[in-house]
Copies of this chain bind each other. A is one copy, B any other.
Amino acid sequence: MDKKKQIAELIQPISDDLLSGAAEIALKAIFIYQTVMNLEPSADLAILKADIYETARALVECQPAMAPLFHLSNKVLFATQQANSPAELRKSCQSALDEFERNLCESVAKIAELVYDLIPPGEMVFAYSFSSTVVSCLLNARARGRYFRVACSESRPSWEGRKLSTRLASGGIEVIHTFDSAMGIVLPTCSVAFMGCDCVGAPGLVNKVGSLLLALSCQEMGIPLYALCGTEKFVSDERLFEFENHERPGGEVWSDPPKGVKVVNRQFELIPTKLITGLVTEAGVLKEADIAQHLSKTPVHEALRLEPAGF
C-alpha cells in the first residue's frame, strides 16, 4: 500500500475523534508515531524522516485546535534532525515521545493538586464537555475523600457530556446531567465551574463550542470558572486561530434538513481570557496578566510553519 495512504489510515481515528480532549488525543498520537517508526523495519534514514514529516503534518492538520498535538509533533520533528542512522532516529524520536508523555502526566498530577483545593467540600461543581484533565482531577479529588456532586450538560452534537457523566459516575461521583441550553438552570446551584481547553494564546482560550455561553453565564451569576490546562496548550497567536478551519459536517447536527436550511456545525470557539477566573496549569493558577510570559516561544519546525495569509 502507498505509504501516504497508510499513514492517513492510521491517523483517521484521531481525525474522527470528537469525544476526547486534547491531552487524551496527544497520548493516542504518541502511539501513532511509534507505529509509523516501525512500519518498515528496513527503511533508510530518508524514508523514515519523510514518513515522520508526513505524519506530523497530517496530525496537526486533522485537529488544528489541539495544541498538544502541535507541540508533540514539533518535538518529534526536531528529534529527527540530528539523527545519522535509522537506529539513531528511532532512539531520539522515542525519547522525545517518552519525555512528552512523562511531562503530560506530571502536569496533570500537579493540576489535580491545585484543583483539589478549588473544590468546596459538599458543594455542586459544574464541568463542561469532555476533558481528560478535568476527569482526572475530579476523580482524584473524590479518591482523596472530597465529597461533591458534578452538574454537566450533554454537549451536542457529539454527546461528550454523556462520556463525562459515565466516567465520573463510574468513579463514585454523583452526577446531575441536563441538556446544553439548561446550563442557566443548573449553574445557580454550583459553587465553581471547570472546563478543559484545547489551546491558549494572548487573545483567549479555544475550547468546545458552548464554552463561551458557560463563561458568560458564570460571569453573570458570579461563579468562578477555571480552565484546566498544562502549558503544553499554549501556542502563538497565529496558531491559535487555526481552529477556525475546523468545520464539521452539518449532518452530525441534523441529518435531513429541508431545502432552504443550511446546517452549521462548528466545533471550537474562542473564550476571551477576561471571562476566565484562572487557568490551572502545572506552573500554578494563572490570571489574565500572567499568560503572556508563558506563551509558547519554542522554535517551530519548518514542516509545521503556517503559510502567511495571502490573496
Contact = CB atoms under 8 A, between A and B. Distances in A.
A122 interface: no
Contacts of A162: 254, 257
A249 interface: no
A173 interface: yes
A259 B170 CA distance: 8
Q: Is the interface of A mostly helix, strand, loop or mixed?
A: mixed
Nearest to A257: B177
A258 B170 contact: yes
Given A260-B174, A264-B176, A264-B178, A185 B209 contact: yes
Size class of the A contact interface (CB-based, 8 Å): 35 or more
B216 A177 contact: no
A261 B175 contact: yes
A265 interface: yes
B182 A263 contact: no
Given A154-B253, A261-B166, A210 B181 contact: yes
Identify the 3 closest CB pairs spanning chains A and B, nearest first: A181-B210, A169-B260, A184-B212
A231 interface: no
Interface string A200-232: 000000000110110011001000000000000
